[in-house]
Amino acid sequence: MDSEALKNCSALHPKPAGLSLQYGTAGFRTKAEQLDHVVFRMGLLAVLRSKAVAATIGVMVTASHNPEEDNGIKLVDPFGEMLHPSWEEYATKLANAEEQELQKVINEICQKGSVNLHKDASVFIGRDTRPSSKKLSQSVIDGILVLGGHYHDYGLVTTPQLHYMVCCQNTQGCYGKATVEGYYEKLSKAFTELIKQSHSSGESQRHLKVDCANGIGALKLSEMKPYFPQEVLIHIYNDGTKGKLNHLCGADFVKVHQKPPEGLDMKPDERCCSFDGDADRIVYYYKDATSHFHLIDGDKIATLISIFLKELLAKVRQNFKMAVVQTAYANGSSTRYLEETVKVPVHCVKTGVKHLHHKAQEFDIGVYFEANGHGTVLFSKAAETKIRQLVREEKDDEKREAAKVLENMIDLINQTVGDAISDMLVIEAILALKGLTVQQWDAIYTDLPNRLLKVQVADRRVIDTTDAERRAVTPPGLQEKIDTLVKKYRLSRAFVRPSGTEDVVRIYAEADTQENADALAHEVSLAVYHLAGGKGAPPQL
């Protein structure tokens, strides 16, 4: 390693005094102008990680659903998964190191992370459409080059596309071709095969309105349109030509505000969906005949996919272990429906995609979605091998046909990470194959009314939780108080958890009516305020 070159190059990407950032589930995120030193240093870290695991590592410049002024960066591990937790610590250390400590911190990482500096390093880079992203990805390249790494810059791609490329590269093409065209070809081929088998395919062209949050999703979805069968008509809104990224549009806006995005004209009973800014989340929605807005979130997406897969598994008659993984935020109705009606085991884990993904890997088929619309399906190597074998060798027609549908599902799903484009195609294929309208899908079960609140506290660390964040261990007396409050209402539950990023405590409550859910959430928020060191005025109803 050339210490002098590192010092000189680092001086061109100086760290602002007093700035300290933390690498979390979403990597680093903050105002774009504060990120130059961070992204340069993540270029360094990507090279070290690549040398440590002798594989290609991904670097994505994006801040997902955050406002346009923000930006961020995250690293992608060899099989398209998130960066290993031990390296998240190294990332935080490296980003916050003072200039004169940089060499020392790199040496420490090399020692602790078993980095062989003589190995080659390979890094794939992608970025979203934010005005700051191009300059920041150039700083990443500076970091890669100063440590002698090789890179391939994919330019503008969705976050899931970069995860996909990294996985393709490190599986020597077994997962697919590590190009954007390869991604379009693999997904559209599987989608076309599935749509062919739907009874409605000849009858009517299937219209879908897609809000792309004025982000990268619009660019990539329009590139992919020529690959789709003719009967699928996708109409793109908020394509970035006029509006601002994530402003009054996108999956997050629709989910939080429970209303359609600006820039999309909705007629009754039309199927619509929204991506978020980097196209790794999706929610569906429609207006009924009375113009009432209906949101179909990640819980209902997971339920639709689970019903479909469970029916196919019954036909192939294989003893596959299937499960759905949720967080405490999943609506109680979805959990009850999955367990009691679909008869699929449901597991609850801590909030954060990495916890869901990790748990889903324990099953032959693991379906996971957060309520916000981020999720995917994982197939074990054994299950995938068996399904592909049945397609080739099974004599029984029904079993073979069901296995063929499962095989196309495996190819259509981006198993590396939640992917709005892939998830949208999975949903469209299932609705076509089952002959379901968006209203029929929505009517599978009725969500319990719920309310999300937050309370400002002096120090969020006073709250500690257990049982996948469903019960509070500290401060003393808080959980007992919540238990007492919950007993007052029918079909109710409530939990509190500290925010991962700011000194607030998040509160979730659900009950049989909206009035009761609101009242329970308010009462729990008062308990948090009084027992966990609330700041400012007490919460008002």
Element (H, E) at 322: strand 322-327
Strand pairing category for 206-211 and 150-156 = unpaired
pTM comes to 0.94
Question: Residues marked as binding?
Answer: 64, 276, 278, 280, 370-372, 497-501, 506
β strands within 435-525, DSSP E: 450-456, 464-466, 471-474, 493-498, 504-510
- Tell me: pLDDT of 466 over 90: yes
Residues 6+ apart with CB under 8 A from 256: none
- Tell me: pLDDT of 425 over 70: yes
Element (H, E) at 90: helix 85-96
Number of H helices, E strands in the chain: 18, 19
Please tell me the predicted confidence (pLDDT) of residue 386. Answer: 97
Phi-psi region of 136 (alpha: psi -120 to 50; beta: other; left: phi over 0): alpha
Mean predicted lDDT score pLDDT of the chain: 95
* DSSP codes, 251-294: HHHHHHHTSPPTT--PPTT--EEEE-TTS--EEEEEE-TT--EE
Between 198 and 84, where is the model more confident? 84
Dig out the tokens for 325 from the structure: 């993984």
Please tell me the predicted confidence (pLDDT) of residue 205. Answer: 60
Please tell me the predicted confidence (pLDDT) of residue 202. Answer: 44
Q: What are phi and psi of 123, to 5 degrees?
A: -130, 135
For the chain, give the percent of residues with pLDDT over 70. 99
Domains, the chain, ordered by start: 3-156 (3.40.120.10), 177-447 (3.40.120.10), 450-532 (3.30.310.50)
Residues in the chain: 541
Question: Residues marked as binding for substrate?
Answer: 370-372, 497-501, 506
Which residues are known catalytic residues?
A: 64
For the chain, give the percent of residues with pLDDT over 90. 91
DSSP code, position 320: -
CA angle 258/261/262 to nearest 5° reads: 135
Give the tens place of pLDDT for each residue, 76-107: 999 999 999 999 999 999 999 999 999 999 99
